[in-house]
């Protein structure tokens, strides 16, 4: 019986490792695409803004929900955007339920008195959450193009002048820009978030877009052609990542997306772990929901190539990799005992080499993205090594919560859109602790993560007792990652 259970553990463990390995090969392919794209000059047909007749009408949508700490900064930034006033409309899509509504009303009245076309659109019921607000605003939007910014974004003054001209080709439905990070160096947490997002916004977005594979509008810091939104079926709220959903529906209808890596749009990263957890949960659950919703449509599509379908399915499965990581992590401890008590199958444990190769592939891929933004050189490479392994460990520490999110998404369990609280942390400094939007509740997931700290400590101890250190580095990273997430969750709550 024990031998049968051992084989079952071995089988599941192997499947998890191989799935992660094949995902890493897809990332390596994106890296090669990314490198090739740097050697290729892509011609994009553009509007001639020297001709006033070619300057289109633009609507900026600002979906807001209880953002008292950042709304003033947001509006101050948006009204300074360089674009003809008679060609620009601003919609503040305000679903707020607190006193920030009054502040927003005062600010809008002030800017409207200066001749700015700015409107305050409120709803009594948050039907469809962010997707519902965007859809309702679209009904009255005057612009041919719809620029969207979340409350924590601060586009540069010339942002519209860099993005809107790229819509000259009528087949272009979306122009997306790269996120920057206002508080990258605030803490370890913000550093590893920036590290991961930089990889997405360089390697993945450019790697896919350069070969016309499906990419995603990232929910903010991008522009939609209004007719593209409508043609693709408009915003829908049946997933927690409405941006990924509409992106795929649009591209399956043959709309083209343009990704501008060189146009950076600064934003504030979640600075405390409860905010990062809520964002990670929403993104990963939404990704899994979109896999369920869109996978069959991607496979059946006649408008995209087989290679694009392959990358599209892996893109939609992105969040599901956390489930594989967590499965591999949990089973790695019993695997120690299986290996040492059933020596006749010891040769099979060479399967771990696939995880080592996977780690090397990710290490290589992330170095190219890190070097592109932070610069090369020996000193930066040494810094990168420390950052990579810190990121790797803490990402594993998030794997339990993110696996729950993925399972809920795959199984169709519905939940509300929990928005990420914003802090304006660089201005308010330590006053962030007074933020009224912070959740003070310690979730059951945090308690389980505490037990997982002890579990992987047991894994380290078992390695010593069995005199088998093959999995020791892996268990050490898991111990560190889960300890960080657990302790930080207790501290901020």
Residue 153, helix vs strand vs coil: strand
DSSP letters for 174-218:
EEEEEEEETTTTS-HHHHHHHHHHHHIIIIIHHHHHTTT------
H/E stretch holding 268 reads none
Kindly give the interhelix angle for 2-38 and 321-341, rounded to the nearest 10 degrees: 140
Residue 40 DSSP class:
-
Q: Which among 289, 100, 308 is positioned nearest to 212, based on CA atoms?
A: 308
Tokens of 87: 């060609």
Q: How far apart are CA 317 and CA 210, in angstroms?
A: 21
Where does 271-356 show beta strands of DSSP type E? none
**Which run of H or of E encompasses 167?**
none
Say how far residue 232 (Cα) sits from the centre of its chain.
Answer: 22
Closest Cα partner for 266 from 50, 426, 72, 412? 426
Per-residue pLDDT of the chain (493 residues; tens, 9 = 90+): 677 787 788 889 889 999 999 999 999 999 999 999 988 877 888 999 999 999 999 999 999 999 988 999 999 999 999 999 999 999 999 999 888 899 999 999 999 999 999 999 999 888 899 999 999 999 999 999 999 999 999 999 999 999 999 999 999 999 999 999 999 999 999 999 999 999 999 999 999 999 999 999 999 999 999 999 999 999 999 999 999 999 999 999 999 999 999 999 999 999 889 889 999 999 999 999 999 999 999 999 999 999 999 999 999 999 999 999 999 999 999 988 887 777 666 666 667 778 889 999 999 999 999 998 888 888 999 999 999 999 999 999 999 999 999 999 999 998 877 777 777 666 555 555 656 666 667 788 999 999 999 999 999 999 999 988 888 999 999 999 999 999 999 987 6
What residues are labeled active site?
95, 243
């Amino acid at each position: 019986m024990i031998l049968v259970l051992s084989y079952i553990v071995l089988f599941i463990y192997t499947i998890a490792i191989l799935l992660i390995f094949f995902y890493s090969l897809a990332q390596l392919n994106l890296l090669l695409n990314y490198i090739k794209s740097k050697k290729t000059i892509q011609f994009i047909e553009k509007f001639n803004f020297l001709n006033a007749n070619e300057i289109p009408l633009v609507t900026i949508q600002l979906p807001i929900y209880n953002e008292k700490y950042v709304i003033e900064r947001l509006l101050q930034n948006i009204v300074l955007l360089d674009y003809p006033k008679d060609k620009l409309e601003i919609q503040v899509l305000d679903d707020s339920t607190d006193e920030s509504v009054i502040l927003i009303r005062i600010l809008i009245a002030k800017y409207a008195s200066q001749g700015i076309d700015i409107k305050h659109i409120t709803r009594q019921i948050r039907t469809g959450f962010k997707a519902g607000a965007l859809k309702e605003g679209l009904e009255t939007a005057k612009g041919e193009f719809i620029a969207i910014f979340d409350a924590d974004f601060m586009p540069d003054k010339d942002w519209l002048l860099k993005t809107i001209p790229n819509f000259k080709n009528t087949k272009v439905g979306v122009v997306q820009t790269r996120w920057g990070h206002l508080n990258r160096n605030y803490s370890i947490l913000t550093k590893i978030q920036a590290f991961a997002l930089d990889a997405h916004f360089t390697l993945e977005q450019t790697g896919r877009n350069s070969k016309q594979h499906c990419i995603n509008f990232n929910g903010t810091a991008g522009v939609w052609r209004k007719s593209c939104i409508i043609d693709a079926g408009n915003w829908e709220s049946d997933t927690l990542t409405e941006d990924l959903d509409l992106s795929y529906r649009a591209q399956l209808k043959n709309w083209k997306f343009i990704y501008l890596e060189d146009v950076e749009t600064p934003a504030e990263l979640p600075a405390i772990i409860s905010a990062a957890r809520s964002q990670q949960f929403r993104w990963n659950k939404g990704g899994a929901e979109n896999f369920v919703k869109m996978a069959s449509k991607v496979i059946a599509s006649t408008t995209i190539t087989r290679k694009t379908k392959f990358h599209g399915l892996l893109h939609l499965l992105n969040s599901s990799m956390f489930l594989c990581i967590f499965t591999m992590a949990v089973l790695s401890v019993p695997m120690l005992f299986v290996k040492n008590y059933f020596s006749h199958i010891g040769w099979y444990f060479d399967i771990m080499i696939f995880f080592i190769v996977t780690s090397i592939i990710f290490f290589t891929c992330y170095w190219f993205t890190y070097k592109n933004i932070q610069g090369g050189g020996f000193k930066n490479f040494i810094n990168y090594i420390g950052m990579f392994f810190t990121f790797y460990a803490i990402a594993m520490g998030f794997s339990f919560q993110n696996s729950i999110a993925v399972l809920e998404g795959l199984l169709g369990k519905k939940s509300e859109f929990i928005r990420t609280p914003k802090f304006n942390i660089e201005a308010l400094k330590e006053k962030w602790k007074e933020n009224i939007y912070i959740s003070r509740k310690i979730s059951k997931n945090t308690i389980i993560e505490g037990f997982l700290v002890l579990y992987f400590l047991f894994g380290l101890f078992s390695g010593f007792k069995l005199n088998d250190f093959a999995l020791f580095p892996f268990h050490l990273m898991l111990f560190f990652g889960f300890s960080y997430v657990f302790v930080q969750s207790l501290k901020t709550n």
